[in-house]
Amino acid sequence: FVLSLKLEKKAEGKLQKQICQVVLQHFEKQYTAELGEAWSSVRDVLTSPWCWQHAVLLNRFSLSPGLESSLAEQGYHPAFPAALPYLPAAFRCYTRTAPGRFPAQKHQPGRLKEYYLLNAASLLPVLALEVKDGEDVLDLCAAPGGKSVAILQCACPGHFHCNEYDDLRSRWLEQTLESFIPDPLINLITVSKLDGRQIGDLQPEFYDKVLVDAPCSNDRSWLFSADPQQAVLRLMQRKELSSLQFQLLRSAVKALRPGGSLVYSTCTLSRAENSDVINLILSSCRNVMPVDLSGMARGVSQEFTFLSGMQQHELLVLPEKGRAWGPMYVAKLKKVSST
């Protein structure tokens, strides 16, 4: 009861955050054109933080005996059914249809956290990547580290390179890894602060798998921009993001070995940052081909709502009440040759 009161107070605090009208007006115009009728129900979720949901990703390196029964008592159930093309046994995540949030764990030096709270849709890029033990893996834009942690719930890469260009976010990434990954394994992880656009030239054809969780216009947080001037600046800079995303993807293609695959993801609904970027890569890089994600989409269709009419190599998760996951765009490509 005390916990639920705390959650209600937290939710009220979120409600007091004001919706930024400048951003909302921009989104209204763009997303009505791009999503059609789907936009109104998506807008209702994005502007209503009290109906947002959080998934609980268990940490296989620090399992608490009573945690799963405690989650079950509070209405949580395993998030991903066994019908998925790729779902490692150690990968365990719990969700529930009710909104609210399981209590977060504080960072304690020398002690591993037992779970990570996140938007369940952000696990789809990790499952699409299909990392196997011993593979060389690059997480090109890794902060704050949730997807890096999730990758390590799936497999133990031979080498795992987590890169984050921004200094502050890089420190956040390091703390996340320290909180979830034990010492022997953390020694196999390289954390760097390189410009992701240069990694392909610095380490050509070095990786089996690359995740590009690209910097994007974060629709959820932008709607609550506290400073209208900052919001206007963000919307002006938004036009430049697709160019950066394309350069990061091109670098990722160079960093991939022939036969290797990459997953591109964003947390925006924007077509310019999603399908348009992937289409540009496919038309300008002759050595990559799309990979069908429809099997994964079918396997998680009970948990997520997808925009219809997408290509088979891409998914766009649309938030709706009771399944308030996303926005999350996921696309998968494979490198077929060196040139």
For 76-123, the pLDDT digits (tens) are 999 998 789 999 999 999 999 999 888 999 888 889 999 999 999 999
Half-sphere exposure of 164 (CA within 13 A, CB side): 21
Q: Which domain holds residue 314?
A: 18-335
The verdict on residue 198 lying in a domain is: yes
Report the relative pairing of strands 77-78 and 207-213 from DSSP bridges: unpaired
Residue 322 lies in a domain: yes
Res 5: pLDDT: 43
Q: Residue 211: which of 291, 277, 125 has the closest Cα?
A: 125
Residue 10 lies in a domain: no
- Residue 116 maps to which CATH number? 3.40.50.150
Please give the Cα distance from 161 to 194 (Å, whole number): 11
Instruction: Determine, yes or no, domain membership for 6.
Output: no
Confirm or deny that 144 is annotated as ligand binding.
Answer: yes
- Choosing from 51, 162, 216, 267, which is the catalytic residue? 267
Three-state DSSP class for 67? helix
β-strand pairing of 136-139 with 207-213:
parallel
- Tell me if 3 is assigned to some domain: no
- Mark whether 51 is an active-site residue: no
For the question of whether the overall pTM of this predicted structure is more than 0.85, the answer is: yes
Beta strand spans in 10-158 (E): 55-58, 77-78, 93-95, 115-118, 136-139
Average pLDDT, stretch 19-47? Answer: 96
Q: Known binder of ligand: residue 314? A: no
Other CB atoms within a 10 A radius of the CB of residue 103 amount to 10
Q: Are 138 and 255 in contact (CB under 8 A)?
A: yes
DSSP 312: T
On whether residue 5 sits in a domain, the answer given is no
Quote the number of domains for the chain. 1
272 appears as a binding residue in the annotation: no
What is the tens place of the pLDDT at every residue in 293-324? 999 999 999 999 999 999 999 999 999 999 99
Would the annotation count 164 as a binding residue? Answer: yes
9 occurs within a structural domain: no
CA 315 to chain centre: 13
Is 213 annotated to bind ligand?
A: yes
